[in-house]
Structures are given as C-alpha cells and as structure tokens.
C-alpha cells in the first residue's frame, strides 16, 4: 500500500491552529492534538537516523584508517589498494537508484532496517578473510556499499517529510554533521583497534555491534509509516488546516508516475543537474582525500625523517588518528557554518545557497593545493591547510541537499537523491581513489624506486583534486542562474 494514503493527519508547526474542512465545505470541529508528543517523536526519529548515519560513515572509512596495514597484509600496490574504495563506491552508486525507486513506493522503515542488517553482517564477515583472498575482501566492501546505499538514499527524505523548510535546513545540518563525524571516527576507531589489539581485523568487529543497536532503535522508535509531505500538504500546513481522512484528492494527483518520467523531469531541472555536478566534484575530492591522505602524510613524514618507513607487523597509525580528528572538527564547524550562512544570506539574496557552495569550493581548492606544495618541507603547515580545505568543503554538505529538496517536487525526492548519488559517485569518488593510485604507480614506474619518489608520486597525483575543486565551484555558479525559476516550478 502506498505511503501517501496513510497517516493523513500531519503535525503542524508550533503556534498554528488545528482544524479541518469537510468535503461539503462546512467547517469541522477543531482537532485536539498534543503538540509535544509529535515533536518528541520527530526528535527521536531524527536521533535514530543520525545514529545510523554515524555507523554508515564509520564503515565507509575503516579501510583508509588502516590502509598501511591492509596494503602490507595482502601485499598489494597503490593501484590495487585503490580498488577497495572504488568497488565500494561503484556498488553504492549502482544500488542507489534501486533504493530510490523502492523508497518512493514502499515502506521506508523496512528498507532502512534491511540495509543496516545487511551491511553490518557483511562487515563482520569481512574481518575473517585471510591474506590469500584479497578479491573476496574487495567483494565484501562492494556488498557493504550496497547496504549503505539504502540508508543514504532514504533517510534524508524522512527528515524532509517531518519538518517544514525553515526547520529542515537545521535538522539536515545535524544529520549531515555525522558524515564528517562518522568519517573521522572511522579513521580513529580503525587505528585505535589496530594499535590496541595488534590486529587490524578487529576494526571490522565493532560497528556490527553498533549496527545491531541501530536496528533495534529503528524498530522501537521509528513509526512504521511516515506521511509523505506533498506541496498540497505544505499549503495546508501554512493555512493552519488538516485534511480529514475522507478527502483524498492529492492521492490521485501524486500517484503514479513511472521511473523514466521522473528521470526525464529531473534531467530538465537545471538547478538539480548543475548542483549535482558540483556535488560530484566534492565527492571526487573527498573520495581521494579520504582514501589516501593518511598514507600521503606518512610518506611526507618519512621523506622529512620524522618517522621511519613501515616495516613492522603493525604500522604507525598516528596520521589516521590526527586526520580523523581534523575531519570531525572541521566537518562539524563547516556544516554548522554553512547552514548558518545559508539561513542569514537567504534573507538578502535568493541565490545565496549556490553562491555559498561556489565560494567555499574555490577556497577549498586553493587550500588543498597549498597543503600539497608544502608537504615535503613543513608537515605542520600541511595539516593546517588540509584542515582549512576540509572545513570549506564541509560547508556545502547540508546546503547542497537543501537545494535538491526545494527545487525537486516531494514525490520525486527519493529518486532525485538516488540519481544524485549515482552521478556524484560514478564521476566522483568511485574513480578518484583508483585514479590516484594508478597515477602514483605510473609515476613510480618511470623513476628509480626510492622513498622520495614514493612521496612525489602521491603528491603529483593529488594535484588533480585542486583543479577538480575549481570546476566544482563553476558548476555551483551555474546553479545560481537557474535556482529561482526551478524553485518556483517545484512549488507549483
């Protein structure tokens, strides 16, 4: 049964009156509805979704946190190591449209629960793979990506249905804070477990327990069905009325379009297309940084003589811990700053959101370029500029999603998010970790093997990220030319 036909009574923003109009136009008695209970329920739902998002991104970045150990354990090159994140992302992006289709038509709670159970189980199983089965380990990362796709595609649409536009940006900011927090915790958890146990496999045995808790909370605290908020629902909320259960005109108007029709409509939405390409540039950079930056920092320190080369059973994990901490702090500050800047500047300029994204991308690209250039001589300056690069990159996470949610009609939002995931990962972080590894291998192959060229090969391959950041800023600038018209069209 389609979710649009369920739970027709939607809680209204605090301070508005409750009432309903009968089918014949005569007013009905005002409904007596508790304001506190729905608000508490919505907060619990968001808390559960945020916890799931935390676990999701911890699982994403466990591998980069112990990349040195994994590379040595399986005896693979930079290019082969890059396959881990590439296969994960390819499976993630290919599964996203499927879950977007299902999320627009079937019960989202069941899909979320199945995804959490699946990726947690595969993560646990991957911790028992031996050194002679690297391909199976790569395959397991792909399966984890499929489970993660179900969550990243559907969870934001539930938040969009629970909150009006003003509050939605704030709540989405909270939700997306757990991207950098989870990413940083992934590095730190992996490095911490490898260091404390002396065996990197234990890093893959913690998050399945957290996933089991998230699944239990999802079952107990998230309603079985959450009403999809259509444009008509928003208009009714603004006027302070609720449609009674006997009135169902919107059900017929919001059902049924085919997936191809939805995709065709989205392809004509210039704001959606351009902002998705800007997000693709962000994904390219974050994928490359997330996979290779701790290893790059280690090689820079080796060249400077700060640390010795990794020759032991368990490699030095301090860079993963530091980079994880930087990711958490800059991610939280960046997302909060982006949401606050968007909230304030929207009152002045209706194009504020894409302009904020464009500016932050240009500054981030410059900071990353400087970080790469000073890495061989001053590691402290490298950490500082990497922190600023990640800070300005993080400004965009919640803002880009909010752009999608107000330029795309509500009944196409799951499909839109899924397509955005597909495009951004297909052209972004699906290929960037592997591309960086391949370029690094090619540079090393043309030069005499040495610690110096091991570092330089990674440095040269990373420079591409700075130029991709400039292109991303350009796409967000293009978005600003179309966003007002597309927003009005979505509201109509």
pLDDT in tens, 158-188: 887 887 766 777 787 788 788 888 888 988 8
Could you tell me if 118 and 192 lie in one domain? yes
Total domains in the fold of the chain? 2
| Cα 290 from Cα 208, distance rounded (Å) | 22
pLDDT digits (tens, 9 = 90+) for 45-91: 889 999 999 999 898 888 888 888 888 888 888 778 888 888 888 88
pTM for this one?
Answer: 0.71
Could you tell me if 401 and 316 lie in one domain? yes
Give the C-alpha distances (Å, rounded to integers) separating 358 from 128, 206, 400, 474, 479: 44, 38, 11, 7, 9
Could you tell me if 269 and 197 lie in one domain? no
Q: Is residue 446 part of a domain?
A: yes
Q: Phi and psi for 73 in degrees, rounded to 5?
A: -60, -45
Residue-level pLDDT at 3: 40
Residue-level pLDDT at 154: 85
Q: Is residue 469 part of a domain?
A: yes
Could you tell me if 337 and 218 lie in one domain? no
Q: Is residue 6 part of a domain?
A: no
pLDDT digits (tens, 9 = 90+) for 237-246: 333 333 333 3
Domain end point (choices 225, 249, 280):
225
Residue 25: Cβ-neighbour burial (10 angstroms; 0-12, 13-18, 19+): exposed
Could you tell me if 284 and 173 lie in one domain? no
Question: Under DSSP, is residue 27 helix (H, G, I), strand (E, B) or coil?
Answer: strand
> According to the 3-state scheme, what is the secondary structure of 206-274?
CHHHHHHHHHHHHHHHCCCCCCCCCHHHHHHHHHCCCCCCCCCHHHHHHCCCCHHHHHHHHHCCHHHHH
Could you tell me if 196 and 275 lie in one domain? no
Could you tell me if 216 and 289 lie in one domain? no
Could you tell me if 220 and 273 lie in one domain? no
Q: Is residue 240 part of a domain?
A: no
Could you tell me if 372 and 441 lie in one domain? yes
Domain end point (choices 180, 201, 225):
225
Could you tell me if 398 and 293 lie in one domain? yes
Domain end point (choices 225, 249, 271):
225
- Domain limits at 360? 260-491
Angle in degrees, CA 150, 57, 212, rounded to 5: 70
Q: Is residue 211 part of a domain?
A: yes
Q: Is residue 65 part of a domain?
A: yes
Q: Is residue 12 part of a domain?
A: no
Which residues are within 8 A (CB) of 486 and not within 5 positions of it... i.e. 6 or more apart? 269, 270, 271, 272, 407
Residue 344: Cβ-neighbour burial (10 angstroms; 0-12, 13-18, 19+): exposed
Q: Is residue 24 part of a domain?
A: no
Which CATH number fits the domain that encloses residue 211? 1.20.1250.20
Q: Phi and psi for 81 in degrees, rounded to 5?
A: -65, -40
| Cα 289 from Cα 389, distance rounded (Å) | 10
Could you tell me if 314 and 187 lie in one domain? no
| Cα 481 from Cα 471, distance rounded (Å) | 16
Q: Phi and psi for 21 in degrees, rounded to 5?
A: -110, 130
Look at the block and give the residue holding tokens 């014949």. 24
Could you tell me if 82 and 173 lie in one domain? yes
pLDDT < 70 stretches in the chain: 1-37, 165-166, 224-256, 311-317
């Amino acid at each position: 049964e389609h979710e649009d036909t369920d739970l027709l009574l939607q809680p209204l923003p605090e301070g508005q009156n409750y009432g309903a109009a009968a089918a014949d136009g005569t007013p009905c008695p005002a409904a007596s509805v508790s304001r506190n209970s729905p608000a508490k329920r919505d907060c619990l739902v968001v808390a559960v979704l945020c916890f799931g998002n935390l676990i999701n991104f911890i699982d994403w970045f466990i591998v980069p946190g112990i990349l040195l150990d994994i590379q040595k354990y399986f005896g693979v090159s930079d290019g082969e190591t890059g396959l881990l994140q590439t296969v994960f992302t390819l499976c993630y992006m290919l599964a996203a449209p499927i879950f977007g289709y299902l999320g627009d038509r079937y019960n989202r709670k069941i899909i979320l629960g199945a995804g959490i159970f699946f990726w947690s189980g595969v993560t646990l199983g991957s911790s028992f793979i031996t050194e002679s089965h690297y391909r199976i380990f790569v395959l397991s990362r792909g399966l984890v990506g499929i489970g993660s796709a179900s969550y990243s595609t559907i969870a934001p649409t539930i938040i969009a249905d629970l909150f009006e536009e003003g509050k939605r940006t704030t709540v989405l900011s909270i939700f997306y804070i757990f991207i950098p927090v989870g990413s940083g915790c992934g590095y730190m958890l992996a490095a911490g477990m490898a260091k404390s146990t002396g065996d990197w496999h234990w890093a893959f045995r913690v998050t399945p327990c957290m996933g089991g808790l998230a699944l239990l909370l999802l079952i107990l605290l998230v309603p079985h069905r959450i009403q999809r908020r259509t444009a008509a629902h928003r208009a009714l909320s603004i006027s302070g009325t609720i449609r009674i259960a006997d009135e169902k005109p919107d059900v017929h108007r919001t059902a049924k379009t085919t997936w191809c029709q939805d995709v065709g409509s989205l392809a004509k939405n210039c704001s959606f297309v351009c902002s998705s390409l800007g997000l693709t540039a962000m994904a390219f950079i974050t994928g490359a940084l997330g996979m290779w930056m701790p290893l790059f920092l280690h090689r820079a320190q080796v060249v400077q003589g700060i640390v010795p080369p990794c020759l032991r059973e368990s490699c030095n994990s301090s860079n993963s811990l530091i980079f994880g901490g930087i990711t958490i702090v800059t991610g939280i500050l960046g997302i909060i700053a982006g949401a606050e800047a968007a909230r304030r500047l929207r009152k002045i300029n209706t194009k504020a959101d894409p302009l904020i994204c464009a500016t932050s991308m240009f500054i981030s690209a410059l900071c990353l370029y400087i970080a790469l250039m000073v890495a061989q001589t001053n590691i402290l300056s490298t950490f500082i500029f990497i922190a600023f690069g990640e800070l300005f990159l993080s400004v965009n996470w919640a803002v880009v999603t909010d752009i999608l949610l107000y330029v795309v009609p509500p009944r196409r939002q799951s499909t839109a998010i899924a397509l955005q995931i597909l495009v951004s990962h297909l052209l972004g972080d699906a290929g960037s970790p592997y591309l960086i590894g391949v370029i690094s291998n090619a540079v090393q192959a043309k030069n005499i093997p040495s610690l110096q060229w091991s570092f330089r090969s990674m440095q040269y391959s990373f420079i591409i990220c700075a130029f991709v950041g400039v292109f991303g800023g350009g796409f967000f600038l293009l978005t600003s030319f179309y966003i007002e018209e597309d927003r009005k069209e979505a509201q109509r």
